[in-house]
Amino acid sequence: MKILITGASGFVGSHLVKELKKQGYNDINEFSGDIRNPEEVKKDVQGCDVVFNLAGVISYWSEMNKLAYEVNVLGAKNMVEACLEYGVKKLIHISSDVTVGIKKNGLGDETIPYSLGGLKVNYCDTKHLGEEEILKGIAKGLDAVIVCPASIYGAGDARKIQTDMTFNFKFPIGLLYPDNGIAVVDVNNVVNGIIKAWQAGRKGERYLLVGENLSFCEIRKIIAEEIGLKPPFIKIPNWAFTFLAYVFLGFSKIIGKKPKLTPEMARINRANLFYSNKKAKEELGLTFKPFKESIKDSVKWYKENGYL
């Protein structure tokens, strides 16, 4: 069996490669490619039985909008067309929980259509449009399954500690936590969900991969305590969080560096992104690790690799 993994050098992709090696898939060749290039995609897909499409751009910064569209949308389209042309037996597309509609009260599930378009957050919109490309392929006969992970934590994620505000405990950010909350999941649970979706996922279905739904206050507190710092204690209202985001954006333009807080981040935090994992548990037989254990793994890895 020949398997193609796009985005194999990324956080989740590297964990997926390790797990597949453990399961006996040892004949692995690494190569560089551009999912935005249809001809390169066709060349890489040819002869493959299974494709795991993990390639994607996660960004809440307007300067990355063009690249995010090219990778998240056009890249998905290229992959679908190549899989159809060369008769790939199964495509597993890794999307995001933000493509699933939310509920004002309660947990969103896979039956709820996309509902974050009004926030004008490019990452959310492009991941949704990427799913639409997968669905077009399914309508043409492609056997594909979509998994929608929540915000992913665990050992090996250098990007999160470098860019994620939840790990920033410097003054004055260290005193603050935003309103609302998000769904979270451990990276190993995501990998297991991807493999289970390949083995048991039903054609045309999507599966939310969610460990817990937590407020930002709870998330910040758990992270601070594991690092050995005092947790934040001042809740910043949405209007102030948005104002702060524009301050960060303006300062970033002056110094010519990527901002650690953006208006897009502020807008996405206006809602509770809480989701159900019922379908993944029942149909894929998944279990999920507590967030505290994921953070313990993360912090241990950060310390061992000089980030903390």
Say what the pLDDT of residue 297 is. 97
- pTM (global) more than 0.85: yes
Say what the pLDDT of residue 70 is. 98
221 closest CA partner among 273, 169, 294: 169
Q: Supply angle C-alpha 150, 89, 80, rounded to 5.
A: 60
* Domains of the chain with CATH codes: 3-304 (3.40.50.720)
Distance of alpha carbon 258 from alpha carbon 236, whole angstroms? 22
Note every long-range contact of 159-167, with CB atoms under 8 Å and residues 24 or more positions apart, other chains counting: 159/11, 160/298, 161/298, 161/302, 161/307, 161/308, 162/307, 163/258, 163/260, 165/260, 165/261, 165/265, 166/216, 166/219, 166/220, 166/223, 167/223
Chain segment 245-265, per-residue pLDDT in tens? 999 999 999 998 888 889 999
Say what the pLDDT of residue 189 is. 98
Say what the pLDDT of residue 105 is. 86
Helix (H, G, I), strand (E, B) or coil at 148: strand
Centroid of chain to Cα 249: 23
Say what the pLDDT of residue 33 is. 86
Centroid of chain to Cα 157: 12
Distance of alpha carbon 116 from alpha carbon 190, whole angstroms? 23
Distance of alpha carbon 58 from alpha carbon 45, whole angstroms? 24
Chain segment 6-52, per-residue pLDDT in tens? 999 999 999 999 999 999 988 777 778 899 999 999 999 999 999 99
- H-state helical runs in 182-288: 187-200, 216-227, 238-255, 263-268, 278-284
Could you identify the residue written with the tokens 């934040």?
232
- The residue ranges of the chain whose pLDDT is under 70 are none
Distance of alpha carbon 233 from alpha carbon 179, whole angstroms? 12
Q: DSSP E strands: which ranges in the chain? A: 3-6, 50-53, 90-94, 144-149, 151-153, 176-178, 181-186, 206-209, 212-215, 234-236
